[in-house]
Structure 1
Amino acid sequence: MSKANFEDKVMYQGDIWVRFDTLPRLLAEGWRRTLAEGGVVSVIRTPFQWVMASPVIEIETGGYLGDVALYVPEVQWDEANAILDGEPQDD
């Protein structure tokens, strides 16, 4: 099965966002939590919509679980990479 095709860079809410990866929704949600704990904003794009907040109930009740794109603001790209690579962050 082929992955959905998402752009590498997009304009979203007036800012440039960079696609961090395309991956299954549940994995992307886990990465979003890790990024948020490190202070990085992220957004998920399904083939149908942009998702800024993903309530657990949406996932439990059959929300889209296929491949999604995980985007971070371009200005936080390096920070996001460091967080997901497990590098310590300066406060």
Structure 2
Amino acid sequence: MTEPAYGQVVTYQGDPWVLLFTMPRIVAESYRRLLAEKGVVTVIRTPFQWVMSSPVIEIETGGYMGDVGLYVPQVQEREALALMDGGPAEQEPADER
């Protein structure tokens, strides 16, 4: 079976989203929870659809469990990567006026 190919930067709902990693869905769901707790928005892309939320029942009943793409909005990429590396989220400097 061929591995799914996911674009590095894609347009989703009118905004640029960046692929953080391709990984098995169960691992991606864990990272989604970690990122959500810190305020980072995520979406998972399977070969069949975009998934904004994954009810446990979908996972338990055999939803797609292969490799998925874990995406974040481009504006949150740096923050998401820092959190996934175990460090504090980097904040953009406040605009001084």
Q: TM-score, normalised by structure 1?
A: 0.94
Aligned residues: 91
> CA separation in 1, counterparts of 2:3 and 2:33?
23
Instruction: Kindly report the root-mean-square deviation, in angstroms, between the aligned alpha carbons of the 2 structures.
Output: 1.4
Structure 1 runs (4+) greater than 4 angstroms displaced:
none
CA 1:20–1:89: 2 relative to 1, 3 Å: closer
Question: Residue deviations 1:5-44, cap 9 Å, x none?
Answer: 1100100001100000111000000000000011100000
Q: Which runs of 5+ in 2 are unaligned?
A: 92-97
Residue identity matched to 2:81 = N
Q: Which residue of 2 aligns with 1:47?
A: 47
Q: Are 2:16 and 1:27 equivalent residues in the alignment?
A: no
Q: Which runs of 5+ in 1 are unaligned?
A: none
Q: Which residue of 2 aligns with 1:8?
A: 8
